A and B are shown apart, each in its own frame.
Chain A
Amino acid sequence: AQSVTQLDSQVPVFEEAPVELRCNYSSSVSVYLFWYVQYPNQGLQLLLKYLSGSTLVESINGFEAEFNKSQTSFHLRKPSVHISDTAEYFCAVSDGYGGATNKLIFGTGTLLAVQP
């Protein structure tokens, strides 16, 4: 079965500094990978996803993630963070590659705390 590891439960960072949130998944077979973001007291929303093709995917608010098959990683990065990026970030892998059922396996989340 698939599993997702987010080793960092919290990442404190100063505003305008770069940040990397780490994500590793267990399977070496083809997968679909997702990053979701959860702002305080809200549900999750999709930040970006990797399906196929270019290994670097970007979001509209400056985040990017790189799919690395050999290291089974999908780390999330941003070159310069803002206070408004403070949120919890979840990495997820789809358990149904190529199939009709999208069951997501989530990591335990990383709280990004941006300080002024």
Chain B
Amino acid sequence: DAGITQSPRHKVTETGTPVTLRCHQTENHRYMYWYRQDPGHGLRLIHYSYGVKDTDKGEVSDGYSVSRSKTEDFLLTLESATSSQTSVYFCAISEGGASDEQFFGPGTRLTVL
């Protein structure tokens, strides 16, 4: 299995509080991605990174920011959590290239009350 961990695995928070989710990889892959999974929507890309300090938006980036200061870590921040951000968040990594497999982490279940 690809070495990807996510922390925390579960979190309950209140509306308006900041939340940071962490993705850590030991594979030295260049690309890292954050998705959210919601019933009826499948997985939707929030942000991705193509190198240290290089990030770009996905299709559902509003309300989220990311940072990547090291190859192995990709942080997702909800500046002020809302109930609509209750979801399961998955991190993924790939070596890069449109044909490459993405390897997924175990997910973080976030509940915003």
Contacts and interface: CB of A to CB of B under 8 A. Distances in A.
Interface string B87-101: 000101010111111
B52 interface: no
Contact-size category for B: 20 to 34
Interface of A: 4, 6, 9, 32, 34, 36, 42-46, 49, 51, 90, 94-104, 106-109
A56 B66 CA distance: 39
Nearest to B50: A101
Q: Is the interface of A mostly helix, strand, loop or mixed?
A: loop
B42 A107 contact: yes
What are the 4 tightest A-B residue pairs by CB atom distance, in nearest-first order? A43-B104, A96-B98, A106-B42, A108-B42
A101 to B, nearest CB: 6
B41 interface: yes
B74 interface: no
